[in-house]
Amino acid sequence: MTPTDHVKLFIPGPVEISEKTFQAFRTPMIGHRSGDFKKLYAEIHPRLQTLFGTRQPVFISTSSAWGVMEGAIRNIVARKVLNCMNGAFSDKWFDVSKRCGKEAEALQAEWSQPILPGQVDAALAKGGFDAVTLIHNETSTGVKNPLKEIAAVVKKYPGVLLIVDTVSSFSTEAIPMDELGIDVLLTGSQKALALPPGMALFSVSEAAFERAATMKDRGYYFDFIEFKKNQADDMTPSTPVISHIYALRSKLDDIFTEGVEARYARHAKLNGIVHEWAKKNGFEFFAAEGYRSVSLTCVKNNQDVDVAAWIKALREKYRCVIDGGYGKIKGKTFRISNMGDETEATITALLGWLDDTLPS
Ligand X SMILES: *Cc1c(COP(=O)(O)O)cnc(C)c1O
**Binding site residues, ligand X, CB under 6 A:** 13, 64-66, 89, 135, 139, 165, 167-168, 188, 191, 197
Min. distance of Cβ 346 from ligand X in angstroms? 21
Tell me 328's DSSP state: G
Q: How far is the CB of 185 from ligand X (least distance, A)?
A: 13
Q: Residue 61 or 353: which CB sits closer to ligand X?
A: 61
Q: Which of 110, 108, 181 is CA-nearest to residue 149?
A: 181
Nearer to ligand X, 143 or 311 (CB): 143
CB of 223 to ligand X, least distance (A): 19
What's the count of helices (H) and strands (E) in the chain, helices before strands?
13, 14
Helix (H, G, I), strand (E, B) or coil at 56: coil
Cβ-based nearer residue to ligand X, 175 or 235: 175
Q: Which of 309, 295, 299, 294 is nearest to 279 (CA)?
A: 299
Residue 133, classed as helix, strand or coil, is: strand
State phi, psi for 53 to the nearest 5 degrees: 65, 45
Cβ nearer to ligand X, comparing 41 with 89: 89
Q: Residue 144: phi, psi to the nearest 5?
A: -105, 120
**CB of residue 165 to ligand X, shortest distance in Å:** 5
What is the closest distance, in whole angstroms, from the C-beta atom of residue 62 to ligand X in the complex? 12
Question: Helices 224-231 and 206-214 sit at what angle, rounded to 10 degrees?
Answer: 120
Is there a contact between 342 and 351 (Cβ–Cβ < 8 Å)? Answer: no
Closer residue to ligand X in complex, CB, 70/226: 70
CA dist 171 and 161 (Å) reads: 23
- How far is Cα 88 from Cα 255, in angstroms, rounded to an integer? 29
Residues 6 or more apart whose CB falls under 8 angstroms from that of 217 comprise: 74, 101
Residue 232 C-beta: closest distance to ligand X, Å = 27
Q: How far is the CB of 14 from ligand X (least distance, A)?
A: 9
CA 259 to chain centre: 20
SS3 of residue 104 by DSSP: strand
- Between 69 and 160, CB nearer to ligand X: 69
CB 216 within 8 Å of CB 98: no
Q: Which is nearer to ligand X, 144 or 266 (CB)?
A: 144
Instruction: Give the nearest distance from C-beta 197 to ligand X in angstroms.
Output: 6
- Give the chain's end-to-end CA distance (angstroms, integer): 25
Q: CB-wise, 91 or 353, nearer to ligand X?
A: 91
Q: In angstroms, rounded to a whole number, what is the distance separating the alpha carbons of residues 323 and 216?
A: 41
